[in-house]
């Protein structure tokens, strides 16, 4: 008996060295300068990615929309169902370690050559239990655990993307509203300019060309107003889809006065391993492939199954015994693959290749995350730097427009200079609004890139 125990212990050590019982080691390092060499990183615990989404998006109407999206969005609800499916798979893998029982009563009636019919019966309970000596079920359970965690990470990735998508769409609406307001105000002002120019023409101080050019510009602005209204309707419909609702008008605030975090840090790149859900999904895929490779290795070794049955029967071979007697039996079986080695080797090679593919995908996911952080941070800082120049540009163009308008009324300049000044002012105002949206979008993209929006 002692010799059998020693043999079993030695076998376990040898199998462990073959990788059957090896355990996946999570990643603890990331590439150096993942966010870029010029990006400052700190250990600040209030990094943007660690903030609650309500602290980032303080607009009450936007918060209401995000709550609705988290409750109704079909993609997010589907992700929750995927978690439930993976949880059930994990439970099945855990229960595989326990014996299986079955109740299988049988009864027969037989008669030979018109003799009296004989009736036999058996009422057994059968049991079967596979011993996981070679790690097949253990690795299956570990793989199921990785897939369950992966489903949770996928759900979080959908949640983060949904919050960022609703915020981006909402602020797009606010940008279009602001541009529409500027365009309508400009159209109204330009309409008055057309009237003034026509009055100057009637007084002999302007010609028909000036009036026609002014009217053409006015009509162009009117078409721009209609285009903006169409874009607003399309964006509202897009937001309604995210909320899993039919098209309707979205209640919203104004772009002016929107407050988003300005003083924040990006944390350290290592946090992406725990914060960013798509990176975690990639690592869970690698972990699952790791245990799939272990399973492929364990397939080379025999499977040992203990089975037995116990119950009542009246059939004792060729003799019928009434009343029935209690019968019990136990069987141990060992199954060792003999002629499937080539197939098993092929499956092991496939598993190793899939594990290496998962490793490369995980590394690429990390690099993609670092690039997205750098892009979003650059977008934010660039937009903030442009804001000051746009303010100065608009101030200069407003003075130019007023000056040229006054000079035209006194006949010392042409309508073309007024036209150029007004169009330049309108374009600058629209671009300023777009730049403000770009700045806000930079914060949203950075929040998403850092894995914000977690439960």
- Assess if residue 412 is contained within a domain: yes
Report the pLDDT value the prediction gives residue 41, as an integer from 0 to 100: 64
Tokens at residue 320, please?
């019928």
449 has a pLDDT exceeding 70: yes
Same structural domain, 151 and 74: yes
What CATH code is carried by the domain that includes residue 115?
2.20.200.10
Q: Are residues 228 and 260 in the same domain?
A: yes
| Residues ≥6 apart with Cβ < 8 Å to 413 | 404, 407
In the predicted structure, residue 288 carries a pLDDT above the cut 80: yes
The tokens describing 143, both together, are 């793989």
**Contact between 143 and 291 (Cβ < 8 Å):** yes
Q: Which residue has the tokens 């798979």?
A: 89
Q: How far, in Å, are 167, 275, 342 from residue 228 at the CA level?
A: 20, 38, 66
Structural domain contains residue 61: yes
Q: What is the mean pLDDT of residues 266-281?
A: 85
302 prior amide bond cis, ω within 30: no
Last residue of some domain: 335, 358, 384? 335
State whether 91 and 104 are in the same domain.
Answer: no
pLDDT-based confidence at 402, cuts 50/70/90?
Answer: confident
pLDDT in tens, 339-360: 777 888 888 899 999 999 999 9
Question: Residue 87 sits in a domain of what CATH number?
Answer: 1.20.1600.10
Cα 132 from Cα 129, distance rounded (Å): 9
Q: How far is CA 45 from CA 42, 48, 50, 51, 131, in A?
A: 9, 9, 7, 9, 48
Confidence at residue 48, expressed as pLDDT on a 0 to 100 scale: 85
Does residue 331 lie within any of the structural domains?
Answer: yes
pLDDT of residue 102: 80
Burial degree of 74 (CB within 10 A; 0-12, 13-18, 19+):
exposed
Give the pLDDT confidence score for residue 114 in this predicted structure.
63
Task: State whether 258 and 318 are in the same domain.
Answer: no
Contacts of 325 (CB under 8 A, 6+ apart): 312, 313, 314, 316
> Are 235 and 365 in the same domain?
yes
Q: Which residue has the higher pLDDT, 229 or 34?
A: 229
Q: Is it the case that residue 206 has pLDDT exceeding 90?
A: no
pLDDT of 383 over the 90 cut: yes
Question: Which of 18-22, 243-247, 321-325, 451-455 is predicted most confidently?
Answer: 243-247
Does residue 68 form part of some domain?
Answer: yes
**Same-domain check for residues 106 and 243:** no
* Same domain as 255, residue 178: yes
pLDDT on residue 5: 40
Selection from 325, 297, 300, 322 nearest residue 311 by Cα: 325
Is 251 in a helix, a strand, or coil? coil
Alpha helices in 96-135 (DSSP H): none
Distance CA 154, CA 160 (A): 10
Count the domains in the chain.
2
What pLDDT is stored for residue 298 in this prediction?
A: 84
Which region holds residue 244: left if phi is over 0, alpha if psi is between -120 and 50, else beta? left
Are 108 and 185 within one domain?
no
Does 102 share its domain with 220?
no
pTM for this entry: 0.80
Where in the sequence is the domain holding 323, given as residue range(s)? 98-131+302-335
Q: Is residue 42 part of a domain?
A: yes
The string of DSSP letters for 430-441 reads HHHHHHHHHHHH
Percent of residues, the chain, with pLDDT higher than 70 = 86
In a domain, 24, yes or no: no
| Residue 106, SS3 per DSSP | strand
Report whether pLDDT(399) > 80: yes
CB 122 within 8 A of CB 106: yes
Inside any domain, residue 10: no
Q: Residue 85 contacts by C-beta under 8 Å, 6 or more apart in sequence? A: 151
Residues 107 and 165 in one domain: no
Residues 331, 346 within the same domain: no
Domain assignment of residue 13, yes or no: no
Summarize the confidence of residues 397-406 as an average pLDDT. 77
Torsion, Cα of 383, 385, 390, 396 (10° steps): -170
Mean predicted confidence (pLDDT) in 412-441: 82
Q: What is the per-residue pLDDT for 40?
A: 61
215 & 324 share domain = no
Please list, in sequence order, all residues whose beta carbon lies within 8 angstroms of the beta carbon of residue 2, skipping any fewer than 6 positions away.
none
Flag whether pLDDT at 197 surpasses 80.
no
* 306-337 confidence digits (pLDDT tens): 787 777 777 766 667 677 677 777 777 767 77
- Candidates 224, 182, 347, 355; CA nearest to 282 is 355
Q: Are 295 and 136 in contact (CB under 8 A)?
A: yes
Examine the pLDDT at 182 and tell me if it is beyond 80: yes
Average pLDDT, the chain: 82
Contact at 8 Å (CB) between 185 and 206?
no
The secondary structure element, H or E, covering residue 315 is strand 303-316
The pLDDT score that the predictor gives to residue 410 is: 62
What was the pLDDT predicted at 112?
65
């Amino acid at each position: 008996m002692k010799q059998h125990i020693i043999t079993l212990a030695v076998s376990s050590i040898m199998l462990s060295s073959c990788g059957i019982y090896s355990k996946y080691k999570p990643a603890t390092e990331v590439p150096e300068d993942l966010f870029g060499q010029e990006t400052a990183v700190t250990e600040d615990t209030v990094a943007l990615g660690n903030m609650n989404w309500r602290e980032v998006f303080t607009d009450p109407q936007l918060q209401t929309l995000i709550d609705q999206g988290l409750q109704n969005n079909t993609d997010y609800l589907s992700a929750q169902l995927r978690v439930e499916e993976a949880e059930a798979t994990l439970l099945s893998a855990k229960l595989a370690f326990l014996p299986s029982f079955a109740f299988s009563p049988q009864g027969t009636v037989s008669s030979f050559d018109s003799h009296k019919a004989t009736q036999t019966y058996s009422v057994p309970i059968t049991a079967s239990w596979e011993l996981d000596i070679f790690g097949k079920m253990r690795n299956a359970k570990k793989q199921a655990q990785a897939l369950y965690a992966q489903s949770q990470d996928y759900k979080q990735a959908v949640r983060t993307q949904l919050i960022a998508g609703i915020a981006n769409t909402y602020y797009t609406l606010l940008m279009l509203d602001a541009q529409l307001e500027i365009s309508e105000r400009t159209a109204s002002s330009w309409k008055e300019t057309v009237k003034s120019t026509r009055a100057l023409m009637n007084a002999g101080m302007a010609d028909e060309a000036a009036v026609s050019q002014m009217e053409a510009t006015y009509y162009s602005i009117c078409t721009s107003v209609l285009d903006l209204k169409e874009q607003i309707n399309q964006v509202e419909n897009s937001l309604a889809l995210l909320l899993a609702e039919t098209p309707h008008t979205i209640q919203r605030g104004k772009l002016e006065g929107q407050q988003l975090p300005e003083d924040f840090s990006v944390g350290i790149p290592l946090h992406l391993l725990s914060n960013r859900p798509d990176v975690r999904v990639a690592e869970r895929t690698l972990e699952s492939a790791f245990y799939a490779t272990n399973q492929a290795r364990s397939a080379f070794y025999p499977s040992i199954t203990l089975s037995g049955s116990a119950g009542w029967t009246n059939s004792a071979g060729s003799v019928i015994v009434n009343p029935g007697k209690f019968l019990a039996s136990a069987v141990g079986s060992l199954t060792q693959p003999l002629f499937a080695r080539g197939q098993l080797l092929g499956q092991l090679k496939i598993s190793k290749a899939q594990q290496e593919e998962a490793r490369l995908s995980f590394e690429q996911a990390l690099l993609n995350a670092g690039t997205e952080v750098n892009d979003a941070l650059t977008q934010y800082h660039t937009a903030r730097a442009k804001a000051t120049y746009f303010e100065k540009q608009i101030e200069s163009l407003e003075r130019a427009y007023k000056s040229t308008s006054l000079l035209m009324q006194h006949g010392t300049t042409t309508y073309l200079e007024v036209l150029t000044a007004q169009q330049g002012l309108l374009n600058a105002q629209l671009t300023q609004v777009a730049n403000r949206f770009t700045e806000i979008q930079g914060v949203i993209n950075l929040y998403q890139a850092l894995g914000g929006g977690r439960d």
